[in-house]
Structures are given as structure tokens and as C-alpha cells.
Structure 1
Amino acid sequence: MKLNQAPSFTTISLIAAPQDMASKRALVILAKGAEEMETVIPTDVMRRAGIKVTVAGLTGKEPVQCSRDVFICPDASLEDARKEGPYDVVVLPGGNLGAQNLSESAAVKDILKDQESRKGLIAAICAGPTALLAHGIGYGSKVTTHPLAKDKMMNGAHYSYSESRVEKDGNILTSRGPGTSFEFGLAIVETLLGKEVAEQVKAPLILKD
């Protein structure tokens, strides 16, 4: 499909909220094959909290085809977004192909290494944590993943495994899959802004307790 043609799939544009109430900044790295819900829901939740979120396309600013053929329009290319760093949190969505692309990216490795060295928050969901393994990030941490990514994540015994829907160990925050995307986003908000703000964001979402 040519980019100047109207895509035949759903296109979602993620545009930052007009006010950065919290002065916190997040970088969501979007790769081809990313899981849509794990990208959009945490981004939405963080923006509701006033966090300034940049959705950065791994290979550029063109629309990214996700795992279920939804196209998401990044705010910036990763190359340009890196110049605006550092960020308070770096977020890695899942999706098998998306996680593989994150795992194979030298730019992602550099960003994660820098984030880890400055003790910044790193958040990954579903298969996304396997990119942490690939780049040697957070060794020794307790993590969770999608059940189908568990064996890959535990290869080499660099982590301890949790069955929790969201797991936070130091500056590494992980979660399990599409169905935990709201909890994942709220955990990021709570870590950066506190429990009270997270509860205020959660209340109008009508989530099941």
C-alpha cells in the first residue's frame, strides 16, 4: 500500500493533550506488528493523567501497521524523539512481531541502556519484556509477560517470573497482555504521579474491580 493512498484499515492518530499538567514525559516506542491495545490504552491513560506522551515510530513517522491491521500514526520518528529526551518512562508495547522488531533495534538498545543508567522507569507489556532480555536490561528483576512469552523470557534465568497482572520491581514495570493494558497504564501513572492521581484517572473509566 502506498502512503499517499487512503488505508483500508482503521487509522488512529495519537495527538498530545493541550496541557502538560504533570510535567512528566513518556516515550512509547511503536514498531511494526505492535499490539494495538497495548499501545493505545496506556497512551490514553497516561495522557488523561496529564503526562506528555510521544508515540515514536521505530522506523519513521509514517503510519505503522499493527498486529491486527490497525494503522497508528506516530507523533514523531524515534530518531527525532530521542533528541527530546530523556523521558520519565520508556514504554514497550507487545505483539510478537513488534517485540521482535524492538529486540533487533540498536536504537532501542541505546535508549533502554540510557534509561536504565539514569534509573528511569522502563515499562513493557505482553511480549514487550522480551526486548529487555534481548538488550540485557533489568537482569535480576522480577517480571511478568504474556504466558506464551514466558519460556523465552526465562531463557538464561536472568529474571524471576511473576504471574501477577502487573509486576513492578525497582524501575522495571511489566504486564501480561491486552486485557491488562488499563492496569499497566494506571501503574505507570501511579509510579510517576502517585496513587491519588491514578485513582482520579481510573474513576471515570468504569473498570471492573
Structure 2
Amino acid sequence: MSKRALVLVYPKSDEGEVCVPYSVLKRGGVDCKLAGPSTDPVYCSVGIRIIPELPLSEAIKQGPYDVVVLPGGRWGWQSLSTDKHVIALMREQEKSGRCLAAICTSTIAMKMHGIMYGRRLTSYPSLEDVMRRDACYIYKHDDVVVDRNLITSSGQITTFAWAIKVLEYITDEETAARVAQESLLPY
């Protein structure tokens, strides 16, 4: 049975942090869906419009997903943090033990709602103090951090490495190595 992934795209999300994991997961044979607040075009961080395949409310009904991917972006975390469907989905991934992959500023959405407290993670570097505050997380200075079913990354330049690690987590090393090689990425 094919693994299933849900990649979110919300206003001000970083385009690369949406498209790279979607592409990597699809290349790895993962049944990947792209969901947003609706099926209207979403204006991302530099104005590129991405059209979700389905609204998140509908995507949730089609779950569960082996991984839910949260993109960051300078202001992308704000729309993730206030959407009741995103909050419910993060909580469900944590409760069920299924993977949650967060990059850049999307870790703020996790923190605002008490998701995966006590875990090791990384984020956009300027957020280190925010993520350390109240000892909610164990902050690491690595490009990609895996702590059980939580996979985090620091930002744009680490997106490919993060996406490959997510693919490896939900499939296997062989699949991740093949996709990395096809994409001219070190593995």
C-alpha cells in the first residue's frame, strides 16, 4: 500500500518549502496531496500563486496521512497558527504517532498549540530564543533534526535535505537514496 502525505500551502508560505517536499515525495512514489484553506490560489511569500488540490477540511476527511508537511515562510506561520483545521491536524498527527514535518517558521505554529513539547527540533535560526522559551523544546543547531515522528529543518537552503529525510522516514533508505541520486543530491 502506498504511503500517503499531505503538504499544506497557506498564505505567505515559502514556495520552495511547499513545492520541494511535494516533488520529492511524489518522486518517491508517495500518494501526495496539496491542501490549503480552499481551492482558491494561495499567494505565497514572494507572490507566486499555488493552487491547492483540495481544501484542508476535505483532505482531513480523506486521512489519515503518514506525514503532514508544514511549510514555513517569513509570515507563513501566522496563517497556519490560526486555522482550526491545521491545529486539529497537528494534534491528530502527534496523538496518533504519525509523522509531522515542519520547516523554518512553521515550528511557531506547533509551539503556539503545544504540539510535540519536549522534543528535539530546529527552526529558522532567528527563532531559537522563541523555541527555547519556557523549555518547550530542545533546540538543535542542525540543518535537519529527527526526533521520533517529528522532522524539522531550518529553512530554504535545507529544504531538499529535509524532504529526502521525510521520504526516508515514511518509505525506506533505498527509495530516499534513489530520489536523492535522481535529483543530484548527496545522500
**What TM-score results when the alignment is normalised by the length of structure 2?**
0.96
Alignment partner of 2:104 out of 123, 126, 150: 126
> For 1:34, what is the secondary structure of its paired residue?
coil
Instruction: Name which one, 1 or 2, has greater alpha-carbon Rg.
Output: 1
Alignment partner of 2:85 out of 107, 114, 117: 107
Alignment partner of 1:49 out of 28, 40, 59: 28
2:164 matches 1:164: no
Alignment partner of 1:38 out of 8, 17, 24: 17
Output one character per residue of 1:19-66: Cα deviation in whole Å (capped at 9) or x when no partner: xxx611111111100001111001100000010111101x21111000
Query: Which residue is 1:28 aligned to?
Result: 7
Once the two structures are overlaid, the 10-residue window that deviates more, 195-204 or 149-158, is 149-158
Output one character per residue of 1:131-165: Cα deviation in whole Å (capped at 9) or x when no partner: 11011111100000011222222222100101111
C-alpha RMSD of the superposition: 1.2
Greater fraction of residues in helix: 2
Q: Where do residues 51-200 of structure 1 align in structure 2 (5 Å cutoff)?
A: 51-57=30-36, 59-200=37-178
Structure 1's consecutive aligned runs of 4 or more residues displaced over 4 angstroms after TM superposition are: none
Identity %: 38
**What TM-score results when the alignment is normalised by the length of structure 1?**
0.86
